[in-house]
Structure 1
């Protein structure tokens, strides 16, 4: 992929080449929608997109397509999970969303990496990652063993999200 411009970001002691800012939402105040998807049998579940890069002040809206889901920030206040959002950020938990079309919104203003999961489907790898502005915070570290293996393997890389702006989920239909 040819990059029009490169900038260097200090990420956890690593210097990575990244493209110019290519967020999913170009202006604060815009809404980025994340679908909570499932195949008809409920065997394959996921967030789509699974990774997004947005500007501070962007509203994120999760919408249920099928099955029962949550969107829950990795934070000790959410079931004792490890901290994987910026320390200054407020964690969120949608509670169970059960009806198709039901939605939950939050506005993210603190720059950094935000990792989140679906409470009933975390072990199946239903996780997502949002980068607000410049990457930073606990979400830059690799997930530890307290996160289920399928979830650890599912997170898109920070570099990929920065390069693409939006990382789509695979295997969840159209």
Structure 2
């Protein structure tokens, strides 16, 4: 969770897209102050447990259900601070109508990440990676 990522974008998760396997865990690291990680409730598999990390605190989540999980930094959602996890190769997709309900920059950023996932996720990472 960063104020600026390696590409110069402000208020970002880095990496913002991860593809992992069911049963893997991901740790969200509060590298810069003022951020959290929490699921976007309408954008995780129906059987999955939502999460909500506290501001400035590291949080580790284990993902058992296949599908896509969108997440946000609540204080910076309007600035486009969202991310996407793909767990496994199958599972439910995120509904485009739900994306449209997000603030403009967040909707645009999430659409970019979904396009990246659809292209095979140029930037694939292992569960050992720790999003910042």
TM norm. shorter chain > 0.5: yes
RMSD: 1.8
**Which structure dedicates a bigger proportion of its chain to helix?**
2
CA distance in 2, matches of 1:52, 1:73: 14
**Which structure dedicates a bigger proportion of its chain to strand?**
1
Size of the aligned set, in residue pairs, is 116
Greater shift, 109-118 or 128-137, is seen at 128-137
Q: Among 8, 23, 26, which residue is 1:60 paired with?
A: 26
TM-score w.r.t. length of structure 2: 0.80
Q: Among 19, 44, 54, which residue is 1:95 paired with?
A: 54
TM-score w.r.t. length of structure 1: 0.61
2:17 paired residue number: 51
Q: Structure 2: where are the runs of 5+ without partners?
A: 126-132
3-state secondary structure, aligned to 1:93: coil
Deviations 1:28-60 (A, max 9, x none): xxxxxxxx1114xxx921000010110011110
CA distance in 1, matches of 2:40, 2:70: 6
1:119 paired residue number: 74
3-state secondary structure, aligned to 1:106: strand
1:137 paired residue number: 92
3-state secondary structure, aligned to 2:12: strand
In the TM superposition, what is the alpha-carbon distance from 1:65 to its structure 2 partner?
A: 1.3
Q: Taking CA–CA contacts closer than 8 Å with sequence separation of 6 or more, which of the two structures ends up with the larger relative contact order? A: 2
Deviations 1:80-99 (A, max 9, x none): xxx100000000001212xx
Q: Structure 1: where are the runs of 5+ without partners?
A: 1-35, 76-82, 168-174
